[in-house]
Amino acid sequence: MKTIFLPRKTLCLCAVLACAAVCGALLTRVKPQETVHAMIPAAVREKVELFEHSPLNKKIFAVVRADTAEKAAKAATALRQELTDANLVRAPFTPRPDFALELFYALPPRFTEQDALASKQILSPEYVSQKMRENYEHLLSMEGLLLKPLIAADPLGLTGMMTYKLAALGAGTGLDFKDGFLSSSDGKTLIALYDGTGEDSFKRAEDFSRRFNAIAARLGDNIQAFYLGGLRYTAENISVIRADLWRVTILALAALAAVFFIFLRRKSALLIYLLPFVILPPAALVTYAVFGEISGITLGFGSVVAGLSADYSIYLFFALQKGQRSAQETVRLLKKHLLCNFMTSALCFAALFCSSIELFKQIAVFSVTGLTCALLLALYVFPPFWTNTDEAVSVPVFPVSPLPKKWAVGAACAALVFGAWGVTHTNFSGDIEDLNSTSAAFKTQKAIFDEAFSQAANDNALVFVKGSSVENALENNEHASAFFPAPLAAGGVVPSAKQRAENAGRWKAFWTANRTQYARLLIEEESAKLGLNPSAFAPFWQQLKNPAPDAFDFTQIYNPAVQLSNGAFAVVNVVPNTAEYEASAKRAGAVFVSGAGLKKELLAGVRGEAVKIVFLSIVFNFLAVLLVFRNARETLLCFIPVVLAGGFTFGCFWAFGVKVNLFVLVFLPLLTGLGIDYGIFQVMKFRSAKGDRIIYPPAALWTAAFSTLAGFGVLAFAKHGVLFIMGLSSFLGICGAILAAQFVLPALLENKKCVR
Amino acid sequence: MKKLLFALLFLVSAVLWAQQPPAQINGPYAQEIISRFGAVETLQSKFTQEKHLTLLAEPVPSKGTFAFSKKGARLRWEYTEPFQNGFLMDGDKTYRLEKGVKKEVKGVMSHHVASQMLVWLTFDLKTLAETYDISFFEGGVTLTPKNNDNRLLDKITVWFAKDNPQALSEIRLDENGGDYTLLKFSDTQINQPLPKDAFL
């Protein structure tokens, strides 16, 4: 097979660069997106999304901590005032003095069957006597100033039914709520919940952070004030990713420069360093075209693709240097190897594409596009530039000797044991929190927050009932309510229009003329005994006969309806976090989400994805390499660097106490791809005719490994948890793979007499 | 003509007098009151209360006692007749008293009422001036809420005790619609040691 290079090499290179520049220019118009959803396995994505729609999730939590409860209360009140005045938050709901009266007038459209039953029971001479005496006692107390209108409108205390419904919304949270603040048991930590006043953009997050901190600084000495919530995560995460991109890019460039001066040392080899600039813009554009968005993490993965993509050119460069053959002849000899390498890498990314994690799909498309470009450049554009003998510079020779057979087997066994121990003892985390990157100050503040809130979070769960519209979701919620040990609280306060009409009808049907007359008799009898004026209860009789319109907007206290990303709606209910409620939700077709349960499911989902991806990448690669070599032994030997590198990496995770997040998943198929590449390199070398082995110098393998480390391993210096774990994994994995390929595999290849 | 001028002058004076702004708390009289009542560290007194409400067939009297300690911002307000109940405020905590037994209440409103009572009874003029327009008359003060939104009281009239410059003799709380409550104080003791169980 004759390889035809593109004619007019310089012109061709200029065209390639121009294409890359156009792609780069277009890329500047693309805004990277960051959502946690893209990082979550599909099986739990819905629950994560629903969890994010919990009533508290969209809130801004303003936390104030002081050395005394009094100071905390004063500071929290001042902070609330300033935040509201500065229009940073919406003014929180504060009940007016006539709030109880508003609750009473809101009862008829919320008058359930249970309320009707309870009302029947209270229409007894004993109850009315006791209630009227209580009313009288209240009227004579100072609280009577507040209670007088309510007593006149509701002498029987029916408002209690509404307060019960409201209380049920936060039932079991166990939180002390005072003066609009959630309070720790000692009162020194107060938390206020606010709604923001704008979009959750990075710009707004930065602006909010700056202005909040300025206000917090004015609150006084010994008073700590901070905020948490989505806005804070946005500010923390994106600033970390931005800083990381700069740090990683600078480090990668420095490392690549070192690789150049140590291994390549030829002007024309600089073409290899053009690769990132040439292949990454089109790769990013293709990814954006496929998904309609691109994540910052996918772009961060560019350094990985750059490292991987350089390998084809590096192998060709060294082959041309060492082989003393024409470019066409060298490419012909190496083509099979390069295609095999490309195929294994592409198949690893194909396995990643099979994952249900959206971000992994992006990374797969991004990487395969980049690698395709790199391969085409290596085969058809670069070789003519590397045959110029005038440029010859001494390339270092690496006299690498493989380990003796016994040592190699011993090292392999040690790596396997180390890895097995590491896999079973490494600290795997399925916590979404670990996908966020936050400052040390944030972590300290979060601990303060958790101290006050963690119990409430553990004791409660959320039940989501979905619908095509708010009304539909409310109706479905009402149907689902029947499956639970107690009615779902949201429906009690915010019923559907249909339910409101039904409840109002029930109210009218209940307060018949006879029953009203009976109530009147009881009240008048007790009024006469106590010295109350019976005509003062006129508002009550009016409400029984002709209920006032349902005017109070309860959603200003609690809005149970949320809109999901797919346009559907869900009603959120806070319920006790028990197995009984979980089973009820399942029967009702509702979604039960608890914080602890979600973590477990996420971890299980991540493990499932990991097994699937690794399994697929191994199967794909095994079949592909077998197809190329048509030799099971050699195919299996290609996996030696993969297995040993995996063992080495997980052993190191355990040994250094690394907390591994779900993004180690990205690394696993990559490790398979890289390790197999090194294995293929060595097997190809041993399969080659003796004279052709020269085109597989150890320096090529080392250079490929170091350039990948330079591009990829530098991610270990990133602060972002996701980039860090990907970088560290690859650093350890590449080190393990190259060591196994250079020192262990050759010994085993000789042993198996693979040399031809 | 002289009579006409005199009448005109009288009218103008009357109008001017009527248009005078309420006395400010930075005036010498107000300052004297602030310093007088500011010196009160403890206070205990008996009271009678008369409620004139449309809800009641006729005015109902009640009796009780109250105690105040500036230290810790404590106030015990307790009825003894016809019911034995009341409230106790201890810093930022409010308790309901039922036959001498206290039970913490978390409602904002109860705390609000208790806080208001504390300000009225101790006649903390500086705090009162934040929410009320203040006008002095001989022997007393009228407080009119500055904010019309959801106000419970139309006005509050306070009379100082003639025999004790640091005590109040009466408070009348006028509600919207004509209802009112009259509180009368007797046996007021200023800065005397309070019983040990006053706030228990």
The predicted pLDDT at position A294 comes to: 85
Residue A633 shares a structural domain with residue A718: yes
The predicted pLDDT at position B20 comes to: 40
Distances (CA, A) of A150 to A99, A540, B108, B110: 9, 9, 16, 15
In three-state secondary structure terms, B133 is: strand
* Nearest alpha carbon to residue A342 among A319, A376, A318: A376
Residue A670 shares a structural domain with residue A730: yes
The predicted pLDDT at position A522 comes to: 93
> Could you tell me the CATH superfamily of domain B2-14+26-188?
Lipoprotein localisation LolA/LolB/LppX (2.50.20.10)
* Nearest alpha carbon to residue A739 among A375, A276, A418: A418
* Nearest alpha carbon to residue A269 among A305, A307, A306, A320: A320
Which tens digits make up the pLDDT trace of B30-71?
Answer: 888 888 888 889 999 999 999 999 999 999 999 999 998 888
Residue A743 shares a structural domain with residue A612: yes
Q: Give me Rg for the CA atoms of chain A.
A: 35
Q: Does B179 touch chain A (CB under 8 A)?
A: yes
CB contact under 8 A, A148 and B53: yes
Cis ω on the peptide bond leading into residue B82 (within 30° of 0)? yes
The predicted pLDDT at position A197 comes to: 75
Q: How many domains does chain A have?
A: 3
Set of chain B residues whose Cβ sits within 8 Å of the Cβ of A532: 55-57
Q: Does the pLDDT value for residue A213 go beyond 80?
A: yes
Cβ atoms of A465 and A476 within 8 Å: the answer is yes
Instruction: Give me the mean pLDDT over the A165-187 stretch.
Output: 69
Q: Does A69 touch chain B (CB under 8 A)?
A: yes
Set of chain B residues whose Cβ sits within 8 Å of the Cβ of A148: 53, 55, 175, 179
With 0-12 / 13-18 / 19 or more C-beta atoms within 10 angstroms meaning exposed / middle / buried, residue A254 is: exposed
CB contact under 8 A, B85 and A137: yes
Q: Where are the beta strands (DSSP E) in A113-263?
A: 176-178, 181-183, 189-194, 224-228
Window 462-491 of A, Cβ < 8 Å to B:
none
Chains A & B: contacts with CB separation below 8 Å: 77
Out of A137, A176, A531, the one facing B57 most closely (by C-beta) is: A531
Handedness of CA A446, A447, A449, A453 (dihedral sign): positive
- Tell me how far apart the alpha carbons of residues A374 and A234 are, in angstroms, rounded to a whole number: 35
Q: Does the pLDDT value for residue A554 go beyond 70?
A: yes
Residue A117 shares a structural domain with residue A165: yes
The predicted pLDDT at position B52 comes to: 93
Q: Does A557 touch chain B (CB under 8 A)?
A: no
The predicted pLDDT at position A553 comes to: 82
Distance to chain B for A441, nearest Cα, Å = 31
Q: Does the pLDDT value for residue B9 go beyond 60?
A: no
Token pair recorded at residue A365: 């498309």
The predicted pLDDT at position A509 comes to: 94
Q: Does A531 touch chain B (CB under 8 A)?
A: yes
The predicted pLDDT at position B14 comes to: 35
Which tens digits make up the pLDDT trace of A324-363?
Answer: 677 788 888 888 888 988 998 899 889 889 888 888 899 8
* Nearest alpha carbon to residue A371 among A434, A441, A282, A309: A309
The predicted pLDDT at position A57 comes to: 64
Residue A532 shares a structural domain with residue A677: no
CB contact under 8 A, B83 and A137: yes
Give every CB contact of residue A390 below 8 A, 6+ residues apart in sequence.
none
Asked whether residue A470 is assigned to any structural domain, the reply reads no
Q: Does A178 touch chain B (CB under 8 A)?
A: yes
Which tens digits make up the pLDDT trace of A270-286?
Answer: 888 888 888 888 999 99
Q: Does A389 touch chain B (CB under 8 A)?
A: no
With 0-12 / 13-18 / 19 or more C-beta atoms within 10 angstroms meaning exposed / middle / buried, residue A195 is: middle
Residue A145 shares a structural domain with residue A205: no
Asked whether residue A538 is assigned to any structural domain, the reply reads yes
- Tell me how far apart the alpha carbons of residues B70 and B40 are, in angstroms, rounded to a whole number: 8
- Indicate the Cα dihedral angle A715, A716, A717, A722, nearest 10°: 70
Q: Which residues pair with B77 in a beta bridge?
A: B66, B87
Out of B55, B92, B179, the one facing A532 most closely (by C-beta) is: B55
Of A179-183, A209-213, A256-260, A541-545, which range is least confident?
A179-183
The predicted pLDDT at position A2 comes to: 54
Distance to chain B for A505, nearest Cα, Å = 31
- Tell me how far apart the alpha carbons of residues A755 and A690 are, in angstroms, rounded to a whole number: 9
Distances (CA, A) of A395 to A318, A390, B22: 9, 14, 97
Set of chain B residues whose Cβ sits within 8 Å of the Cβ of A95: 108-109
CB contact under 8 A, B92 and A187: yes
The predicted pLDDT at position A174 comes to: 55
Q: Please state the three-class secondary structure of A296-359 as a single string.
A: HHHHHCHHHHHHHHHHHHHHHHHHHHHHCCCHHHHHHHHHHHHHHHHHHHHHHHHHHHCCCCHH
Set of chain B residues whose Cβ sits within 8 Å of the Cβ of A187: 92
Residue A130 shares a structural domain with residue A220: no
The predicted pLDDT at position A726 comes to: 80
Q: Does the pLDDT value for residue B5 go beyond 60?
A: no
In percent, how much of chain A has pLDDT > 90? 25
Q: Find the domain containing A540 and state its range.
A: 99-173+495-551
Instruction: Give me the mean pLDDT over the A634-663 stretch.
Output: 88
- Tell me how far apart the alpha carbons of residues A433 and A230 are, in angstroms, rounded to a whole number: 12
Residue A679 shares a structural domain with residue A735: yes
Q: Does A142 touch chain B (CB under 8 A)?
A: yes
CB contact under 8 A, B86 and A148: no
CB contact under 8 A, A140 and B91: no
- Indicate the Cα dihedral angle A609, A613, A615, A616, nearest 10°: 130
Chain B residue closest to A187 (CA)? B92
Confidence of residue A6 (pLDDT cuts 50, 70, 90): low
Instruction: Give me the mean pLDDT over the A126-152 stretch.
Output: 89
Q: What is the pTM of this model?
A: 0.68
CATH code at position A616: 1.20.1640.10
Which tens digits make up the pLDDT trace of A575-600?
Answer: 888 999 999 999 999 999 887 888 88
- Tell me how far apart the alpha carbons of residues B128 and B125 are, in angstroms, rounded to a whole number: 5
Which tens digits make up the pLDDT trace of A479-523?
Answer: 999 999 988 888 888 999 999 999 999 999 999 999 999 999 999
Which tens digits make up the pLDDT trace of A422-447?
Answer: 888 888 776 666 666 677 788 888 88
Residue A126 shares a structural domain with residue A197: no
The predicted pLDDT at position A7 comes to: 64
In percent, how much of chain B has pLDDT > 70? 83
Write down which residue in A534, A551, A568 finishes a domain.
A551
The predicted pLDDT at position B21 comes to: 39
Q: Does the pLDDT value for residue B168 go beyond 70?
A: yes
Which tens digits make up the pLDDT trace of A216-269?
Answer: 998 888 889 998 877 787 777 777 777 787 888 788 888 878 888 888 888 888
* Nearest alpha carbon to residue B33 among B120, B125, B110: B125
- Tell me how far apart the alpha carbons of residues A110 and A297 are, in angstroms, rounded to a whole number: 49
Asked whether residue A54 is assigned to any structural domain, the reply reads no
- Tell me how far apart the alpha carbons of residues A753 and A744 are, in angstroms, rounded to a whole number: 15
Asked whether residue A440 is assigned to any structural domain, the reply reads no
Q: Does the pLDDT value for residue A173 go beyond 60?
A: no
* Nearest alpha carbon to residue A445 among A239, A657, A213: A213
Residue A534 shares a structural domain with residue A682: no
- Mean confidence (pLDDT) of chain A: 83
Q: Does the pLDDT value for residue A199 go beyond 80?
A: no
Which tens digits make up the pLDDT trace of A697-745?
Answer: 888 888 888 888 887 778 888 887 777 888 888 889 989 999 999 899 9
In three-state secondary structure terms, B183 is: strand
In percent, how much of chain A has pLDDT > 70? 89
- Tell me how far apart the alpha carbons of residues B6 and B47 are, in angstroms, rounded to a whole number: 48
B1 or A558: which carries more pLDDT confidence?
A558
Instruction: Give me the mean pLDDT over the A542-558 stretch.
Output: 85
Q: Does the pLDDT value for residue A34 go beyond 80?
A: no
Q: Count CB neighbours of A257 within 10 A.
A: 12
CB contact under 8 A, B106 and A178: yes
Out of B62, B87, B113, the one facing A146 most closely (by C-beta) is: B113
- The phi, psi pair for B180, rounded to 5°, reads -155, 160
Q: Does A139 touch chain B (CB under 8 A)?
A: yes
The predicted pLDDT at position A755 comes to: 40
Q: Does A70 touch chain B (CB under 8 A)?
A: yes
Q: Give me Rg for the CA atoms of chain B.
A: 19
Asked whether residue A68 is assigned to any structural domain, the reply reads yes
Which tens digits make up the pLDDT trace of A476-491?
Answer: 999 999 999 988 888 8
Set of chain B residues whose Cβ sits within 8 Å of the Cβ of A177: 106
- Tell me how far apart the alpha carbons of residues A265 and A394 are, in angstroms, rounded to a whole number: 8
The predicted pLDDT at position A584 comes to: 94
The predicted pLDDT at position A520 comes to: 93
Confidence of residue B3 (pLDDT cuts 50, 70, 90): very low
A673 or B181: which carries more pLDDT confidence?
B181
Of A471-480, B32-41, B113-122, B188-197, which range is least confident?
B113-122
CATH code at position A72: 3.30.70.1440
Cβ atoms of A543 and A40 within 8 Å: the answer is no
Confidence of residue A194 (pLDDT cuts 50, 70, 90): confident
The predicted pLDDT at position A35 comes to: 64
B99 or A78: which carries more pLDDT confidence?
A78
Distance to chain A for B183, nearest Cα, Å = 11
Q: Count CB neighbours of B101 within 10 A.
A: 10
Q: Does the pLDDT value for residue B157 go beyond 90?
A: yes
Out of A69, A141, A145, the one facing B85 most closely (by C-beta) is: A141
A660 or A388: which carries more pLDDT confidence?
A660
B153-160 and B140-145 as β-strands: parallel, antiparallel, unpaired?
Answer: antiparallel
Instruction: Give me the mean pLDDT over the A382-406 stretch.
Output: 70
In percent, how much of chain B has pLDDT > 90? 21
Out of B79, B92, B173, the one facing A70 most closely (by C-beta) is: B92
Asked whether residue A500 is assigned to any structural domain, the reply reads yes
- Mean confidence (pLDDT) of chain B: 79
The predicted pLDDT at position A179 comes to: 67
CB contact under 8 A, B175 and A148: yes
Chain A residue closest to B183 (CA)? A142
Q: Does A177 touch chain B (CB under 8 A)?
A: yes
Out of A69, A97, A536, the one facing B54 most closely (by C-beta) is: A536
Q: Does the pLDDT value for residue A456 go beyond 70?
A: no
Asked whether residue A442 is assigned to any structural domain, the reply reads no
Residue A381 shares a structural domain with residue A266: yes
Distance to chain B for A209, nearest Cα, Å = 31
Confidence of residue A756 (pLDDT cuts 50, 70, 90): very low
